[in-house]
Chains A and B, each alone.
Chain A
Amino acid sequence: MKKKLSKLLRWETMLVVLLIVLWVVFEARDNGLDAALIAKGRKAKDVFNFSKMLNGMGVYMLYSFMALGMALILGMGDIDISVGASATLSASVMGISYRALINGGTANGTAFAIAVAACLLTGCACGLMNGILVTRFRELFPMIITLGTQLFFRGFCYLFLGGETLKFDGDATWGQLKTLYNGAVTIGGYKVPTIIFWFLGFALIFFVFLHLTTGGRKLFAIGENRTAALYSGIRVDRFELLMFVICGMMAAISALFYVGSASATVRADAMTGYEMYAIAVVVLGGFSTAGGKGNIIGVILSVIIFGVMKKGLGTLYGFADSTVNLAVGLVLIVASLLPNVMEDISNRIRVKRQHVTIKATE
């Protein structure tokens, strides 16, 4: 147990080191660019700094809520690649129901409350469907099941919306979604987007659940060994089902912010590929896809790391938006291989040492 704890701590420390290294490199590059500009008699642009990073973080946090839900699923050794589509479906249902209610003469405020509730419920329903399928059909991989539901949900989005962009121009009530995403508070001279507080709030809840309650222990126990968990009295199926529902709900919460980010518009092709970003964040955060281990602190750190990395590569090195993923992929590969490689190395060293001691005693 103690050994495990120190291992986890080490991973989080590593992420902090990675973050600091990234930051130092980016700052150096930024200063270099500014020096070059000043040498040419131009004004320094100071492309990369804490204030700009903080301010622009929002667009890299849209999938962070999904990632929290995904952490539950990966912790149990399952996977859910339908969350992107679940989120879009939730957003579509929200838009459609709001429009229907408004056209039906419901007051804006009421209609909005119902629409948001419908959005969250749709997310839960998507999660429920995944959960039922995964727990009932154990012979199928969760990856395949959720691939199916992903296509199914996405298909529904197109059925509801087609190629249309759903928007409510000049509707202040619906426009609240924009405030949800664009809102910011000024703390100590820094403009901090409120989405960061939302994320940290949810992350705290997930942290408490995963690491301080029996629920979290059950979850990791299931991830470690499902059969053992079952025989030790955990109602595995019911618990797993519930986690999938929560994961679906977190996708719907991501959807609320996403709609806000898109100037309060809904499209059927929104959030394509978001499930992969969510999985990437959680895996870099230290959750193993085999289940049984991980820490929410790591997830928080890796959300920040991905944001800083994408922003830095994009603004300082002129990487195209699509090319940035190359670096993200590289970090992910290194991150998932590193624990194995390190264990391998430490084993070899141990063997060598034993050899040495054996020889010495001879």
Chain B
Amino acid sequence: MKKFLAIILAIAMVMAISAFAFADDAKPGEGITIGVVYKQSGNAYFQAGVEGFQKAADELGFEFMHDGPEDSSNDGQERIIRNYMDQGVDVLAISANDAAGLVDVCKEAKEKGIVVLSWDAKVDPEGRDLDIEPASSKVIGITQLESLAESCGFEGKIGIVSAGATAPNQNLWIGFIQEEFANNEKYANMTLLDPVYGDDDYTKSYDVTKALLDANPDLKGLIVPTTVGGPAVSKCIKDEGLAGQVKVTGLTLATDMAEYIHEGIADATFLWNPIELGYVSAYVGVAMVNGEFEAAEGATIEVPGFEGLEVTASDDGGLILFLNKLNAFTDETVDSWIGIL
């Protein structure tokens, strides 16, 4: 019994000694605490997101805590959110494992006057004030088209290797690509072939690419708006000995594409940037607490390094803010993203 108490007391004393240190400065974020909740702890993607919050914290002077459940569970996120609520955070920035699952606890937080933002993965509209996402479908489509056209010198024949024929995201992006291609003068010297589909399968993507290359020996470039397709298409071009003649761009993971980007098969591929997502979320949160910005349709906010950030209505009936800036993986930048994206 005595020993038991002694052990407990020893542990207790160690804990009681430790204390937090706070930095003091007259900055806009002074006195504001942000609770960052992400899908899973120990995930490199969210570590990058936290880096963004850290960068903003250095500039604005707010404090933030961050955590995610080890098992990507809904109840784990609820526990963390409730703990943050008890600790008196002013802002919750959540990347939700389940958009619907956190609505109740988020509503409770909103009732307490806490600003609830979702970033990267949304919380359903009733539970959030604002959702912050990388880019609208239009920007995602046009960015890829522009990049490829630049690689090809704005002339020649280009094609698209997509995922499934019914994949909703890809079809939306391709729709914007086709619309922009038809309406923008700078693409007048180019031809856009109908998309082919690799069904998000490596072998199938490889095969359809080979067929497309055989049928169009004068092909100048391919847009691949799917992470599985990117490396398959690049490998096919490499195997056919067309490296440098046929350029690739698309939405891809840096880890998959680094090799092909270094070999010049792709000049640039794209994905979003979790650091920027975190950075902007932090700025939005601080501005909302200070009453400088209100989440309403058409509201705009100034964040260093970003232009035209505007709140729009989202498809799910809530409010959304697009960064509209994609993360380009190029020969210089791709290596720093390996293992993260």
Contact = CB atoms under 8 A, between A and B. Distances in A.
Q: Interface of chain A, helix or strand or loop or mixed?
A: helix
Interface string A44-69: 01011000100010011010000000
A320 interface: yes
Contacts of B1: 14, 342
Contacts of A311: 83, 86
B98 A267 contact: yes
A261 B80 CA distance: 14
Interface stretch (B65-73, B165-173, B177-185): B65-73
B82 A270 contact: no
Interface in A316-344: 317-318, 320-322, 325, 334, 338, 342
B164 interface: no
Contacts of A318: 20, 65
A246 B98 CA distance: 31
A178 B104 contact: yes
Contacts of B16: 25, 28-29, 32
Nearest to B98: A165
Nearest to B76: A321
Interface residues of B, number: 45
A273 interface: yes
A5 B68 CA distance: 44
Interface in B1-52: 1, 4-5, 7-9, 12, 15-16, 18-20, 22, 24, 31, 41-42
Contacts of B67: 320-321
A33 B63 CA distance: 15
Contacts, number: 115
B221 to A, nearest CB: 34
B209 to A, nearest CB: 28
Given A45-B88, A47-B86, A270 B15 contact: no
B12 A272 contact: no
A313 B4 CA distance: 20
B101 A267 contact: yes
A359 interface: no
Contact of B74 (A36, A262, A338): A262
A310 B75 CA distance: 14
Interface string B105-130: 10000000000000000000001000
B338 interface: no
A295 B75 CA distance: 28
Interface in A11-32: 14, 17-18, 21, 24-25, 28-29, 32
A90 interface: no
A40 B8 contact: no
B41 A263 contact: no
A315 interface: yes
Contacts of B186: none
B299 interface: no
A76 B79 CA distance: 33
A279 B177 CA distance: 56
B102 interface: yes
Contact of B79 (A263, A267, A272, A310): A310
16 contacts: A17-B5, A21-B8, A40-B22, A59-B79, A60-B79, A262-B74, A263-B104, A263-B127, A265-B74, A265-B100, A267-B74, A269-B72, A270-B75, A315-B86, A320-B67, A325-B70
Interface of A: 14, 17-18, 21, 24-25, 28-29, 32-33, 36, 40, 42, 45, 47-48, 52, 56, 59-60, 62, 165, 167, 169, 178, 182, 258, 261-263, 265, 267, 269-273, 310-311, 314-315, 317-318, 320-322, 325, 334, 338, 342
**Across the A-B interface, the 8 shortest Cβ-Cβ residue pairs:** A322-B70, A25-B12, A262-B101, A45-B88, A314-B83, A263-B103, A263-B104, A320-B67
Given A40-B24, A321-B70, 9 more contacts: A45-B87, A169-B100, A182-B104, A263-B104, A267-B101, A272-B71, A311-B83, A321-B80, A322-B69
Interface of B: 1, 4-5, 7-9, 12, 15-16, 18-20, 22, 24, 31, 41-42, 65, 67-76, 78-80, 82-83, 86-88, 98-105, 127
